[in-house]
Amino acid sequence: PATGRALRECDHVLDFINHEGHAVTAGGALVHAARDGSVVLCRGLAPDVVRHLAEVLASHAHLAQLLQDHTRAGVDYVIVGEQRFAPATEWWFETLPLTYRRVPTFAHHDEQGHTVRVGTVADGSMLAPIVDRLRNELGDLIAVQSWSALTAEAATGSPTHILEAFGRNVNKWTAIAALCAQYGIAPAETVAIGDGLNDLEMVRDAGLGIAMGNADARIEAGADVRVGHHDAGGFADAADLVLAANKR
């Protein structure tokens, strides 16, 4: 499994499928051993970059949500700012067993290098210019994007977006490639199935990239094949494709 969620945002899913291997989490910033939750790979943000990101978000009157490596930080998030949570954020923290610490400004936070992602949640039209500003100011230091957030009302297509900033080459595919190198697996032997914008590199660069029927158009453009919608057996169709290819 490769997900944009942190471990404690998805471990109930890993338990449900009895997963005992690795789990790529936080969009590729972390790789965990699913059995005990230990961190196998961590690719965080430099403290000065975290500060810059938090201060830019504050200047636009947005909270900065600093996702932590909770195995070292002891909490899942540090929330910078005194604004109210966006409804989607409030729902997220009410729904999942997460811990967070709030600080009024970044000056009240002692950044120890545990931050793996900086983000915020707001209407998509408000976040697009911030993405452009961050790309201009931080150049090759980060990878940043804004895309539709999961909310209580909508799984896809919500006008509420999440802005996410990672280290420059941090994504799901580079985490998978690191595991391939560890196990001696050629990248051409991999299959990736995805639908969201944070699946782009994974679907594009895997040996076989499969886009779900509900995938973002940019994912479909980089995929080798498209299957059905995730609510209509699309993942089973993808599994059938992989099994058939193995038989051949």
Task: Report the SS3 class of residue 161.
Answer: strand
Q: Are strands 160-167 and 115-123 parallel, antiparallel or unpaired?
A: antiparallel
The per-residue pLDDT for 152 is 64
How far apart are alpha carbons 145 and 223 in whole angstroms? 20
- How many angstroms separate the most distant Cα atoms in the chain? 59
How far apart are alpha carbons 111 and 128 in whole angstroms? 27
Q: Which of 190, 186, 214 is nearest to 202 (CA)?
A: 190
The per-residue pLDDT for 158 is 80
CA distances from 151 to 108, 158, 201 (A): 30, 7, 24
pLDDT tens track of the chain, all 248 residues?
999 999 999 999 999 999 999 999 999 999 999 889 999 999 999 999 999 999 999 999 999 999 999 999 999 999 999 999 999 999 999 999 999 999 999 999 999 999 999 999 999 999 999 999 999 999 899 999 998 877 666 666 688 899 999 999 999 999 999 999 999 999 999 999 999 989 999 999 999 999 999 998 999 999 999 999 989 999 999 999 999 877 76
Task: Report the SS3 class of residue 120.
Answer: strand
How far apart are alpha carbons 24 and 5 in whole angstroms? 9
CA distances from 52 to 56, 119, 212, 225 (A): 6, 12, 36, 40
How far apart are alpha carbons 123 and 87 in whole angstroms? 11
The per-residue pLDDT for 155 is 67
How far apart are alpha carbons 155 and 177 in whole angstroms? 28
Indicate left, alpha or beta for 216 from its phi (over 0: left) and psi (-120 to 50: alpha): beta
């051949």: which residue's tokens?
A: 248
Q: What is the pTM of this model?
A: 0.93
Give the tokens for residue 96.
Answer: 């999942």
The answer to whether 144 touches 130, Cβ cutoff 8 Å, is no
How far apart are alpha carbons 113 and 134 in whole angstroms? 20
